[in-house]
Amino acid sequence: MKTLHQLHLYLGCVFAPLLIFFAVSGLWQMHLLPWPGMDTKTNTVLAWLSTIHTSQALKAGTLSSAYMRRLVVAMAFSLVFTILLGLIMAFRFGHKKIAAGCLLGGIAVPVVLALMAFYR
């Protein structure tokens, strides 16, 4: 289990910066672009930075590339793997009932919110 714990730790450290960037760029795309009162240059820079998150194909002027897409695939697999390792560690080293309650809550809350939006 020590090896899995170390693997979880180091994969998290490797991919944490990119995961944080993707989370923040998704947030500003969803809620903040364009920012009211923000100058056009700043909006342009944020839009350009977002191309790393949104590009489907290689386009001139974007940050996306075939190498970046491969890195994102590796990041996605690593994220799923480290999450599974984290769940294993939560059940193995934590209180099983609390871990199970948190996991069920993490499933139930988004489902309920999605259903509320669907049936509204």
Domain ranges of the chain: 2-94
Query: What does the DSSP 8-state code read for residue 59?
Result: -
CA distances from 91 to 4, 22, 78, 85 (A): 14, 28, 20, 10
42-64 pLDDT, tens digit each:
677 777 777 766 665 545 566 66
On average, the pLDDT of the chain sits at 77
pLDDT in the model for residue 58: 47
pLDDT in the model for residue 108: 92
The model's pTM: 0.60
Average pLDDT value for residue range 16-42: 71
Contact yes or no for 82/11 (Cβ under 8 A): yes
**CA 8 to the chain's CA centroid:** 16
Average pLDDT value for residue range 100-115: 89
Asked if the model's pLDDT at residue 92 lies above 70, the reply is: yes
